[in-house]
Amino acid sequence: MPISERVGRLGSGVFARNDRRKAAYAGEPALLDLSLGSTDLQPPPVAIAAMQAQLGTPESAAYCLHAATAPFRQAVARWAQRRFGTSVDPEREVLLLVGSQEGTAHLPLAVLNPGEAALLLDPYYPSHMGGLHLASAEPVLLPLRPEQGWKPDFDAVDDATWARIRLMVLGFPHNPTATTGEQAWVDAAVSKALQHGCVLAHDNPYVDLALDGEAPALLRNPAWREVGIEFFSFSKSWCLGGYRLAFAIGAEGLISALRQLKGVVDFNQSLALQAGAIAALEQAGDWPEQLRATYRERRDRMAAALEAVGWPVPLPSMALYLWLPLPPVARAQGLDSETFCARLLEATGVALTPGNGFGPGGEGWLRLALVHPVEQLEAGAARIGRWLASL
């Protein structure tokens, strides 16, 4: 059966293998899945009520064309004004998305011709690389280094390479390193994009989940509409991941190109879902604050629990994840991140994500998602500790 080379390049191997191992695990104790950023925390009731009120209406069942999304886009523009103090044109600079994953994965098709180069941070969020493969683009990796606090060094890319780069994809707060980052880092990316005439795509689903400091944003840079597009999501700030709601704000030309491209692929989300999203933006603006308090406690307690079993880990500046260096005993035995995760799962039922799934720069690291209550996380740390002691 003919399958495109493009699909071959998608190379989701690490995650597929991890999923197969999770599915095959039938041991005792029960699986404790800390490998996905899919939260156990709940969305604001006001958002769910707004959806319920609209479910079953004929308008919610119909295909939703762009014109019908105007109330949503207006709510987004008001949110951007409140959140970043910038005025956004809801007609021309806002686009509803079926998740920021969908938007960031489709964007390269709207920006790049086959073979053109795009800059990605390494480690990267997997769909950022996937989007480049879909567009048959050439990925250029910019390594992030722990000794530099995961700060991107845009000057490490030489001028000849910059001259080829048409799109830069980054996102702070950063998954998987769980680093909030600084506005200066995004501003440096804006300067490079202006200097070299490339598009800057800033993926910002964690804008409300900085635990230390304030999250950077492209929209805080006055040049945002000259260079780029920023992606926001309802999945993390309002725990609506399963509802697939997100939006992009950006330069008119980029929004219009992405809208045109998406017109081939999908329709907008139902008006019922949009009603929930509008309620989240307008009536549950404080929701992320309580999420941060919960994640902060989980972060602190889990880091302490791991340290107590002999695995000291860095305290991340962003909610939702710990980004863990392989423990010393695993390093001493020469285990890579995937082998470590496979053996950990088999022995303890605790599933983490191997860092190599996020690119070569993730090797030697593991991602742990804080998506269960503290008691379960601490019980997981105890299981991990007993297994490490047996190595």
Ligand X SMILES: Cc1ncc(COP(=O)(O)O)c(C=O)c1O
List residues binding ligand X (CB under 6 A): 37, 99-101, 125, 171, 175, 203, 205, 233, 235, 241, 246
Q: Please, which residue, 125 or 295, has the CB nearer to ligand X?
A: 125
CA distance 250 to 348: 45
Structure tokens at 115: 């073979």
Residue 244 C-beta: closest distance to ligand X, Å: 7
- Dihedrals φ, ψ of 97, to 5°? -130, 160
Q: 224 vs 321, which CB is nearer to ligand X?
A: 321
Nearer to ligand X (CB atom), residue 79 or residue 162:
79
Q: Which run of H or E residues covers position 231?
A: strand 228-233
CB of 385 to ligand X, least distance (A): 27
Q: Which is nearer to ligand X, 86 or 235 (CB)?
A: 235
Beta-ladder partners of 143: 122
Q: Show the beta-strand stretches assigned E in 70-226.
A: 94-97, 117-122, 138-143, 165-170, 199-203
For CA atoms 118, 122, 125, 130, give the dihedral sign.
positive
Q: Return phi, psi of residue 96, to 5°.
A: -75, 140
Burial classification of residue 201, based on how many CB atoms lie within 10 Å of its CB (0-12 exposed, 13-18 middle, 19 or more buried): buried
Min dist. Cβ of residue 159 to ligand X (A): 29
Please state the three-class secondary structure of 139-180 as a single string: EEEEECCHHHCCCCCHHHCCHHHHHHEEEEEECCCECCCCEC
Alpha carbons within 13 angstroms on the beta-carbon side of residue 118 total: 33
CB of 262 to ligand X, least distance (A): 14
For ligand X, which is the closer residue by CB, 93 or 230? 230
Rounded to the nearest whole angstrom, what is the least distance from the CB of residue 175 to ligand X in the complex? 4
Q: Is the CB of 18 or the CB of 348 nearer to ligand X?
A: 18
In angstroms, give the least distance from the CB of 238 to ligand X. Answer: 11
Tokens at 251, concatenated: 């330069």
For ligand X, which is the closer residue by CB, 181 or 205? 205
Cis peptide before 216 (omega within 30 of 0): no
CA distance 131 to 139: 10
Residue least distant from ligand X (Cβ): 99
Among residues 241 and 385, whose Cβ is nearest to ligand X?
241
Minimum Å gap between C-beta 277 and ligand X is 11
